[in-house]
Amino acid sequence: MGVVYSAFDEELDRRVAIKVVRGIKSLNESSRQRMLREAKAMAKLSHPNVVQVYQAGLFDQGVFVAMEFIRGETLSEWLGLDDPVSTLEGKRGGGVTKPSAPVVTRPWREVVDMFVQAGRGLAAAHEVGLVHRDFKPDNVLVGEDGRARVLDFGLARVMDEEDEVEALGRSSLEQLREERRKETADLTKTGTIMGTPAYMSPEQHRGLPTDARTDQFSFCVSLHEGLFGERPFRSSTLMKLRVQVERGKIDPPSDTRDVPSAVLEVIRRGLAVEPDERFADMNSLLDELARAVEPPAWRRWMWPMVALLSVVVMAGAVLFAATREPTPEERSVVEQLVAQANEAGAHACWVVPCPEDHLDTSYRKVLELEGLEGTVAGEGDERAAALRDEFSRSLVRLGNRFWEREGGRGFARDYYLQALLFKEDRNALTRSGLTRGEIAEYREKARLGRFSEVERVAARPMQLLSIEDEAERVRALVAYRDAHGAALGSRAERLDALIVDMGGPPPKRRAPKEPPPAPVLEPEPEPTPPPEPSPPPEPRPRPEKKAKKPQPETGPSPADIEASRQLTTQGDAAKRRRQFKEAQTLYNRALDLYPRNHHALDGLCTVLFEQSDYGSAVVYCERAVDRAPGNARYHVHLGDAYYKTLRFSQARAQYLRAQQLGDPKASRKLDKVREKLGE
């Protein structure tokens, strides 16, 4: 899309590349403005693995982008691929070239390293809300310095479409989507807008919405091609390609070239048909890829010399780990997690967070138990299995209790859904009415603890319905209905019916207000001569209250964000004084104003860690890393929290990521956790 010119910026004394996108009639003014916004968003992104955008603007019915000029070659050329973009390019003539025999010119480790660089560039773009949508080797430049840089975000768009929705109004959402569909349909005829078919994801082939996971798919197609010289989907026509991609039928490589099977497994997961089955984000994919790669090449020649010694040491470490009794500290971790899981269950917060504590749920604590490693790994698994069975039975029992009651089936289905997260149950699966894909999506949300305030409010009746005493249950539900009934939407009627079925009062219906009485006019004395009769004064009309229009949820204001930052600074000061309770309060206040404040999240992580509340520290550390995955210090803190909760493999992954990001402490911590793992 567009033409690229080489130019010289005299003011800054540098050579630049200028890309001009124009001549596409289907791009109306709003489309050009959107492309301009996206280009400006790229200009705000500065990352060593993304081509730097300097300036963007409108020009001659099009958009121009001035960017970094790089001397080098495309990743396709660097890989030595034979005419990589001609195959399945989707030309209008319909001809498709059959892929040629695989040709590989680079060692597989070198290929992985180069793709990891490109993947970091994609991850950085995702962090600012941009999706590439056309990632392929031709859209990566390898500079003369050996650094990979992702370019040509011409197909990218801002992920958060809700910004536009708020500006247009909710009623215009479908109009916006229809406009984009028309724009996409027209531009697809040029073979450009929706990406190169050979690298496109199933959702792109189907014309469905895309997000950052779409780039994962294209990245893995490209990585497969770079490693094996052939793509994972090698159909000879566009129609066959689409069917193959949508069915997830991956062609095995003709020659694996000694590439570890673990690397191929990472690629296959990234090529999953359903986006939810891929990695949570690009950084997670890169972390898994790093774990799949064998030790660096410089260590391989030492292997024959130390093989026997390593085997002996490893066997001794395994034997020691298997026979050593857990320390009191390690046992206390298990007991603490079990107690926290049971406490959450006692408050009926099995899966959805409790209002009084939006972090801990029984489900997350069970997952933590199952993630324990070392001497308590077996005990953690056993205790987790017992809890899964207990919670599943409790939830199924509650579902059965309300299944036949008036208005109760909707709530019963919620119980069955939560039960299925703990343990498979045929009756619960049937009655839930959900597909396994929907259950998997809910399971991932529960694992991450990412429930919105609306979802937490909607789940509250489930928690109140679990009260054993029916009279107390009805009182609690009536109080909740009176306070929050409007937030339940269509579920409010079902709750009303269920309350009445349990002997509770029906919902109060407000009677229409009586109109004010007409004013009483005192009779006037009969005048002489009688005046013309005047009409009686009309009652003064009551001012009508204008119905409040529902306001869309908006993000925090600039003032809230600034206040959040100031509170975070105060929290940091309190933490330095080791006044952890005060710091915790300040960080929580900061997050109330701006929930995405990753500095405050990390602050909470560290103060909880200092108070030995390692389980809660993990949650906040995970959220901090999720908000700012490029911050090495956050990865170290999360690794420390994982280490303290005996999740050594996860700790290793975080330390490894921190090391990749240049943290000086990461290497020492890696050695420590590898010793625990017997590596």
Residue 396 has a pLDDT of: 95
Distance, in Å, from the CA atom of 14 to the CA atom of 69, rounded to the nearest integer, reads 9
Which helix (H) or strand (E) segment is 186 a member of?
helix 173-188
Contact criterion met (CB below 8 Å) for 50 and 140: no
Would you say residue 610 has pLDDT above 80? yes
**CATH 1.25.40.10 domain extents, the chain:** 558-676
Say how far apart CA 76 and CA 140 lie, in whole Å: 8
pLDDT the model gives residue 191:
33
Q: For 618-633, write each residue's pLDDT tens digit.
A: 888 988 988 888 899 9
What pLDDT score was predicted for residue 171?
34
Rg (CA), the chain: 31
Mean of per-residue pLDDT scores for the chain: 77
Tell which wins on pLDDT, 309 or 611: 611
pLDDT at 565 over 80: yes
How far apart, in Å, are the Cα atoms of 308 and each of 298, 304, 318, 675? 19, 8, 15, 18
Give CA–CA dist 279/270, Å, rounded: 7
- Measured between alpha carbons, how far is 215 from 69 in angstroms, rounded to an integer? 24
Identify the weakest region by mean pLDDT among 220-229, 389-398, 438-447: 438-447
Of all residues in the chain, what percent carry a pLDDT higher than 90?
28
CA distances from 442 to 244, 421, 439, 451, 532 (A): 28, 8, 5, 10, 78
How far is residue 485's CA from residue 355's CA, in Å, rounded to a whole number? 16
Instruction: Tell me which range, 370-379, 516-525, 528-537, is most confidently predicted by mean pLDDT.
Output: 370-379
DSSP state of 551: P
Cα 475 to Cα 406: distance, rounded to the nearest angstrom: 18
For residues 607 and 584, the answer to whether their CB atoms sit within 8 Å is yes
Return the minimum-mean-pLDDT range out of 18-27, 223-232, 447-456.
18-27
- Please state at what angle helix 261-270 crosses helix 212-228, rounded to 10 degrees: 140
| Res 106 pLDDT > 50 | yes
Q: Are 395 and 414 contacting, i.e. CB atoms less than 8 angstroms apart? A: no
Q: Which of 131-140, 265-274, 619-628 has the lowest mean pLDDT?
A: 619-628
Q: Residue 634: pLDDT above 50?
A: yes
Q: Is 73-292 a domain of CATH 1.10.10.10?
A: no
pLDDT of the residue at 263: 93
* Mean pLDDT (whole number) for 452-456: 74
Q: Could you tell me the two tokens for 633?
A: 């210090």
Q: Quick check: helix, strand or coil at residue 484?
A: helix
Nearest 5°: phi and psi at 59? -155, 120
Residues 554 and 545: their CA atoms lie apart, in Å, by 24
Residue where the block lists tokens 């694992």: 447
- Tell me which amino acid residue 652 is: R
Which stretch of 79-88, 142-151, 437-446, 542-551 has the lowest confidence by average pLDDT? 542-551
Tokens matching residue 299: 């260590």
What is the per-residue pLDDT for 32? Answer: 65
Would you say 19 and 67 are in contact if contact means Cβ atoms under 8 Å apart? yes
d(CA 566, CA 569): 5
Residues of the chain with CATH 1.10.510.10: 73-292
Location of structure tokens 């600034």: 562
What pairing do the DSSP bridges indicate for beta strands 157-158 and 140-143?
unpaired
Q: In a 3-state reduction of DSSP, which class is residue 541?
A: coil
Beta carbons of 73 and 183 less than 8 angstroms apart: no
pLDDT tens column, 302-321: 444 444 555 444 545 444 44
Backbone dihedral angles phi then psi of residue 293, each to the nearest 5 degrees:
-80, 140
Tell me: the pLDDT tens digits for 397-435? 999 999 988 888 889 999 999 999 999 898 998 898 887
pLDDT the model gives residue 324: 63
Distance CA 164, CA 152 (A): 23
pLDDT of residue 437: 72
**What pLDDT is stored for residue 294 in this prediction?**
62
pLDDT at 239: 82
**Residue 473 CA to its chain's centroid (Å):** 36
Q: How much is the pLDDT for 539?
A: 46
DSSP state of 313: H
Asked if residue 54 has pLDDT above 60, the reply is: yes
The Cα 605–Cα 625 span in angstroms is 11
Q: What is the pLDDT of residue 156?
A: 47
* pLDDT level of residue 240 (50, 70, 90 thresholds): confident
- Which pLDDT score, from 0 to 100, does residue 400 have? 94
pLDDT of residue 600: 94
Residue 290 exposure: Cα atoms within 13 Å on the Cβ side: 21
Question: What architecture does CATH give domain 558-676?
Answer: Alpha Horseshoe (1.25)
Q: What is the pLDDT of residue 154?
A: 52
% residues pLDDT > 70 (the chain): 73
Tell me, what's the pLDDT at 190?
33
Give dist(CA 109, CA 521) in Å, integer: 98
Q: Which helix (H) or strand (E) segment is 369 a member of?
A: helix 362-370
